[in-house]
Structure 1
Amino acid sequence: MNPVSALLGRGPEGLPPPAPLDFGSLVLPRSPNAALAAPPGHPVAARAHLPSPIYPVPAERLFETLLVLVDGFPRCHRLGAWPERHQAQWVERTRWMNFPDLVWAEAVPLPEGSGLLLLSRSLFGWSDLGVNRARAARWLEALEVAVR
């Protein structure tokens, strides 16, 4: 990845190729520029920065709803999707400085329905001033409204 082209690019321009994320082996950065959300009881929930709701729909439907919802968000571009994993990756560019933040989301089956694992992280800088946590909360709220 060329940092200059990543900062000057639009949408996915200048970014590394998309790749699925293994949430189970995820090591969070030491920097405060990432936010992880997970449903209660999920193995990664102990490391999460915020809880993800339990949605009363199967993981397949949650994933399909998520794709349609996020593809409509401003400054957000899908980089890749892995339907067999119910996972996708996006870039959302910040409004004022065009910084690219990467977001992965994976719908996981739960006994009561499904949950969402979500990681939002900055590619540049040490601190994001809470932008990724706010984004994760906004995505979770919008998905909950869309599902119900």
Structure 2
Amino acid sequence: MTLLVVLWMLVGAVFGRAAILEFLFGSPDRSAVSFQSLVPPATPNTYLLCPPGYCDAARQTVPSPEFDVPADRLQSAWMDMLDRQPRVTVLREDEALRQVDVEQRSLLIGYPDTVTVRFLPLPQARSTLAVYSRSHYGRSDYGVNRERIETWLADLQP
């Protein structure tokens, strides 16, 4: 490891990496997401997955998959899948909206990414979801947000 990484690890162990990042870059915006009015930034450090017509204000979205289970069962499977993920903390759960916000931090530096997911019922006991994953610091995430959501969806066992 380089001297800078070792120094970062030592200072982070004393003061906490999250506190240092917030001191250097400011607090991340963790306000609640409204998918219907969401307009992601133009920077390439986000990933948005929505059912057709659900995220109307967004310029570009990836279509969401559909599941052959009710929304409550999909949500339960999602939360079980999150329990198996490293460095994930639940920030907020809105039962009325069936929406959950979680934070996942990067391994070495501890950069925070926030993932918001809303579970949506469909006819005939089916469901889908809307997912917005975003980095709070930097301009590019090198595809981390897209890769995270694709991996999580592959690991999902409703």
Q: What TM-score, normalized by structure 2, do the two folds share?
A: 0.76
Residue 108 of structure 2 aligns with an amino acid whose one-letter code is W
Residue 55 of structure 2 aligns with an amino acid whose one-letter code is V
Q: Which residue of 1 aligns with 2:65?
A: 53
Q: Which residue of 2 aligns with 1:44?
A: 55
Q: Which residue of 1 aligns with 2:99?
A: 87
State how far apart, in whole Å, the 1-side matches of 2:154 and 2:98 are: 19
Residue 30 of structure 1 aligns with an amino acid whose one-letter code is A
Structure 2 residue corresponding to 1:107, chosen from 111, 116, 119: 119
Task: Verify the 8 A CA contact 1:101 1:120 in the aligned structure 2.
Answer: yes
State how far apart, in whole Å, the 1-side matches of 2:55 and 2:104 are: 24
Q: Which residue of 2 aligns with 1:141?
A: 154
Is 2:77 aligned against 1:65? yes
Residue 58 of structure 1 aligns with an amino acid whose one-letter code is P
* Unaligned 5+ runs, structure 1: none
Cα displacement (A) at 1:52:
2.2
* Unaligned 5+ runs, structure 2: 1-16
Residue 134 of structure 1 aligns with an amino acid whose one-letter code is E
Query: How many residues were matched structurally?
Result: 137
Bigger radius of gyration, 1 or 2? 2
3-state SS of paired residue (1:47): coil
Identity %: 35
3-state SS of paired residue (1:132): helix
Task: Verify the 8 A CA contact 1:32 1:128 in the aligned structure 2.
Answer: yes
Cα displacement (A) at 1:140:
1.5
Is 2:137 aligned against 1:124? yes
Q: Which residue of 1 aligns with 2:9?
A: none
Structure 2 residue corresponding to 1:7, chosen from 21, 29, 38: 21
Q: What TM-score, normalized by structure 1, do the two folds share?
A: 0.81
3-state SS of paired residue (2:66): coil
Stretches of 4+ moved more than 2 A in 1? Answer: 6-9, 14-20, 41-47
Cα displacement (A) at 1:72:
2.7
Cα displacement (A) at 1:51:
2.8
Structure 1 residue corresponding to 2:109, chosen from 97, 117, 121: 97
Structure 2 residue corresponding to 1:21, chosen from 21, 33, 39: 33
Cα displacement (A) at 1:17:
8.0
Cα displacement (A) at 1:4:
6.5
Q: Which residue of 1 aligns with 2:5?
A: none
